[in-house]
């Protein structure tokens, strides 16, 4: 079935009628009884009542003497009451109240006189007695149904004599990966192989929701095999997820299998990514068809499977908080879909949040690793302008955001290395870095979206790095330029330099395919400077329009043989075992918002920047010189 045949249902309507249909089929939490010892984090399937009182006996709450209060009545400061040994019993804290006593007098208030005692005050019945049921009384409800059992609740149940508890049985969710090109994860896939990591992602998500994932072996795109595997999964599991091949150009038997084994309620939801989702069921067992791209899969699970698992587990899984953020740049969105956009969040200089949209490619799973939150763009919204206020659903605790040092700018692996060292020193520290080039760094710091920018900008007129750009863009100051490192830039070429490239001028040769960096990148500016200096023309360079965002991705293209040369730093060439023709020694510096300069996170960053540990790491990466 091709994507064009899909319907375009509204997400909320589809989910609501899906849940209604599943409940009508009898979908409800299933219970099992387990020992209380093993119940931490589980969900009660029914209300839990105390069987016994806690404490289960009246206990002395003090060290002192236990007695009947009425024998002390009338005692005052001036007229003490004398008790003989038969009228009181010595007790320690926690001792059961002896038979025939109803109060405790603290040891400090007892005056001994031989075997007798004198009391200079009357006791009130039940004073200093920890009474039966002070904590919980037999018959009291300790926990209602569908409540997560906290560690303290385990204690309350055991105190109340409850040894076993009826909890929701974790639903088993089958995951069926399908597709001719799909292969199990490995370190040496062949061209055309698609590594099957979705089932691992889905398993992690389902486990975090209290379900038990069960992944089936990969099924090829053979109609009968897919149908048979689904039949088996429906038999063995409480719910089934079928993960389609990611290709839109191939046959997809998922919907056919759903219709054959059960009922298909929807095929095609008006969301992006995730449109080809299938909502079906066999009896009360939900069957969800999930598109093959990982980001689509995660969104479909989150939006459609999560409410289903909530019904199956009696649990509220909507735990993420929502915040308001300012959009850092314009973001368009199609009117045909409700769109879920991953964003990074930074804290601006006024303590507000700035959201920067990440790659929207449905295949880019790292965008979910980098994402701090998600913007839910309604279908009738064409997008937002830079500066618009947007609601962002958080993907990580808000405390982490407030600890985050946001660095925007030119790509260099040293930023990741510093972030790692900071994390090792203090796991609370978070560095969020985005690669938008040196000019992007200047703009981001100017707008207050980043505390730090990473730049290497050559002033053609003076031959100096960075200072003239800072002077130009920050006429009124407000920033400090901190020396970073010197690093070698040059031409990366295949191992052994098979095309005999000697200098930048060779880029114009007919037999050379070039790979460039994106506009605004310092390395792109260097490229343009070299073109001008050598009297060349951009049009003469085959591949000038081919843009990559990092040094390593340029190196990766050359290593894969799809480009002959590209500009980049030595460490990237070294990582990919490429040959390297040095061109210049450039200055990679850090532009810091003056308002943030004295903050702990900047101080910590700069301390690491000048540390021996970083120097050691830079030596391993290669091609760096430090200033100190």
Site for a copy of itself in 267-326 (CB under 8 A): 294, 298, 310, 314-316, 318-319, 321
Please give the residues from 381 up to 410 whose contact with a copy of itself meets the rule CB under 8 A: 397-400
Name which position in 47, 222, 386, 471 contacts a copy of itself (CB under 8 A): 47
CB nearer a copy of itself, residue 137 or residue 584: 137
Contact 234, 351 (CB under 8 A): no
202 binds a copy of itself (CB under 8 A): yes
Which x/- pattern, by CB under 8 A, does the window 14-43 give for a copy of itself? ----------------------xx--xx--
Name which position in 33, 76, 207, 332 contacts a copy of itself (CB under 8 A): 207
Instruction: Find the part of the chain contacting a copy of itself (CB under 8 A) among 78-86, 110-118, 189-197, 377-385.
Output: 189-197
530 binds a copy of itself (CB under 8 A): no
Least distance (Å) between residue 268 CB and a copy of itself: 18
CB nearer a copy of itself, residue 349 or residue 420: 420
The Cα 469–Cα 336 span in angstroms is: 43
Least distance (Å) between residue 410 CB and a copy of itself: 15
**44: three-class secondary structure by DSSP:** strand
> Any residues with CB less than 8 A from the CB of 250 and at least 6 apart, and which?
180, 221
The Cα 151–Cα 144 span in angstroms is: 16
Least distance (Å) between residue 218 CB and a copy of itself: 14
What separation, in Å, do the N-terminal and C-terminal C-alpha atoms of the chain show?
A: 63
Sign of CA dihedral 220, 221, 222, 225: positive
Instruction: Find the part of the chain contacting a copy of itself (CB under 8 A) among 4-12, 385-393, 543-551, 601-609.
Output: 543-551
Contact 394, 322 (CB under 8 A): yes
Which x/- pattern, by CB under 8 A, does the window 410-439 give for a copy of itself? ---x--xx-xx--xx--xx--x--------
Contact 193, 183 (CB under 8 A): yes
Please give the residues from 330 up to 369 whose contact with a copy of itself meets the rule CB under 8 A: 361, 363-366, 368-369
The Cα 153–Cα 132 span in angstroms is: 19
Contact 462, 600 (CB under 8 A): no
Comparing CA positions, the residue from 273, 601, 567 lying closest to residue 418 is 601
Least distance (Å) between residue 477 CB and a copy of itself: 33
Which x/- pattern, by CB under 8 A, does the window 561-590 give for a copy of itself? -x---------x--xx--------------
Name the residue with tokens 């399908």. 178
Please give the residues from 590 up to 619 whose contact with a copy of itself meets the rule CB under 8 A: none
CB nearer a copy of itself, residue 54 or residue 325: 54
**What are phi and psi for residue 453, nearest 5 degrees?**
-125, 145
Name which position in 74, 121, 185, 582 contacts a copy of itself (CB under 8 A): 185
Least distance (Å) between residue 575 CB and a copy of itself: 4
Widest CA span of the chain, in angstroms?
Answer: 117
> Any residues with CB less than 8 A from the CB of 188 and at least 6 apart, and which?
none
> Any residues with CB less than 8 A from the CB of 581 and at least 6 apart, and which?
490, 491, 493, 497, 501, 502, 503
Sort 218 into a burial class: Cβ within 10 Å, 0-12 / 13-18 / 19+: middle
Comparing CA positions, the residue from 200, 219, 228, 549 lying closest to residue 359 is 549
CB nearer a copy of itself, residue 545 or residue 594: 545
Please give the residues from 126 up to 165 whose contact with a copy of itself meets the rule CB under 8 A: 126, 130-147, 150-156, 158-159, 161, 163
CB nearer a copy of itself, residue 55 or residue 383: 55
> Any residues with CB less than 8 A from the CB of 260 and at least 6 apart, and which?
227, 230
The Cα 123–Cα 73 span in angstroms is: 7
**261: three-class secondary structure by DSSP:** helix
109 binds a copy of itself (CB under 8 A): no
Comparing CA positions, the residue from 415, 478, 472 lying closest to residue 448 is 478
537 binds a copy of itself (CB under 8 A): no
Instruction: Find the part of the chain contacting a copy of itself (CB under 8 A) among 467-475, 484-492, 496-504, 546-554.
Output: 546-554
Which x/- pattern, by CB under 8 A, does the window 234-273 give for a copy of itself? ------------xxxxx-----------------------
Please give the residues from 49 up to 88 whose contact with a copy of itself meets the rule CB under 8 A: 51-59, 63, 70
């Amino acid at each position: 079935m091709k994507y064009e045949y899909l319907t375009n249902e509204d997400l909320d309507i589809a989910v609501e009628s899906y849940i209604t249909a599943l409940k009508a089929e009898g979908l409800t939490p299933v219970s099992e009884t387990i020992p209380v010892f093993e119940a931490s984090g589980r969900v009660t399937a029914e209300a839990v009542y105390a069987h016994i009182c806690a404490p289960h006996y009246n206990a002395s709450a003090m060290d002192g003497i236990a007695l009947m209060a009425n024998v002390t009545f009338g005692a005052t400061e001036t007229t003490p009451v004398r008790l003989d040994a038969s009228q009181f019993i010595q007790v320690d804290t926690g001792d059961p109240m002896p038979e025939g006593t109803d109060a405790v007098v603290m040891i400090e208030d007892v005056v001994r006189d031989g075997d007798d005692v004198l009391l200079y005050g009357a006791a009130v019945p039940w004073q200093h007695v920890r009474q039966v049921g002070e904590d919980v009384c037999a018959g009291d409800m300790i926990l209602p149904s569908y409540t997560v059992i906290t560690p303290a609740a385990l204690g309350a149940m055991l105190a109340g004599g409850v040894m076993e508890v009826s909890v929701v049985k974790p639903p088993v969710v089958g995951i069926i990966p399908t597709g001719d090109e799909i292969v199990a994860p490995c370190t040496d896939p062949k061209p055309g192989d698609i590594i099957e990591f979705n089932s691992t992602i889905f398993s992690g998500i389902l486990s975090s929701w209290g379900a038990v994932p069960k992944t089936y072996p990969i099924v090829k795109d053979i109609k009968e095999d897919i149908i048979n595997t689904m039949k088996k999964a429906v038999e063995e599991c409480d719910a089934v997820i079928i993960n389609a091949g990611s290709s839109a150009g191939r046959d997809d038997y998922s919907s056919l299998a759903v219709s054959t084994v059960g009922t298909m309620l929807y095929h095609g939801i008006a969301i992006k990514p995730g449109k080809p989702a299938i909502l079906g069921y066999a009896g009360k067992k939900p069957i969800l068809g999930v598109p093959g791209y990982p980001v689509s899969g995660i969104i479909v699970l989150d939006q459609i499977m999560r409410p289903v698992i909530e019904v199956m587990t009696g649990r509220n899984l909507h735990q993420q908080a929502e915040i308001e953020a300012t959009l850092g740049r314009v973001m368009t969105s199609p009117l045909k879909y409700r769109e879920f956009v991953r964003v990074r969040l930074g804290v601006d200089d006024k303590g507000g949040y700035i959201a920067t949209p990440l790659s929207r490619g449905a295949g880019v799973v790292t965008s979910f690793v980098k994402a701090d939150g998600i913007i839910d763009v309604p279908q009738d919204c064409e997008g937002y302008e830079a500066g618009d206020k947007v609601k962002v659903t958080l993907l990580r605790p808000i405390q982490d955001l407030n600890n985050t040092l946001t660095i925007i700018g030119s790509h260099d692996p040293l930023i990741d290395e510093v972030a790692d060292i900071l994390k090792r020193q203090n796991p609370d520290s978070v560095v969020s870095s985005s690669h938008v080039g040196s000019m992007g760094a200047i703009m981001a710091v100017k707008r207050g979206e980043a505390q730090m920018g990473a730049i290497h900008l050559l002033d053609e007129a003076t031959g100096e790095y960075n200072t003239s750009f800072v002077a130009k863009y920050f006429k009124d100051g407000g920033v400090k330029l901190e020396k970073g490192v010197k690093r070698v830039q040059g031409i990366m070429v295949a191992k052994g330099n098979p095309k005999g490239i000697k200098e930048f001028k060779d880029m114009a040769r007919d037999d050379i395919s070039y790979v460039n960096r994106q506009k605004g990148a310092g390395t792109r500016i260097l490229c343009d400077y070299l073109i001008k200096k050598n009297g060349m023309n951009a049009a003469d360079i085959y591949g000038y329009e081919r843009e990559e965002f990092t040094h390593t991705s340029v190196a990766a293209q050359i290593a894969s043989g799809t480009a002959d040369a590209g500009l980049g730093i030595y460490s990237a060439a070294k990582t990919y075992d490429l040959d390297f023709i040095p061109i210049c020694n450039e200055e990679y510096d850090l532009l810091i918002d003056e308002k943030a300069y004295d903050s702990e996170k900047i101080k910590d960053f700069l301390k690491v920047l000048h540390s021996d540990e970083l120097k050691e790491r830079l030596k391993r990466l290669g091609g760096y010189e430090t200033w100190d």
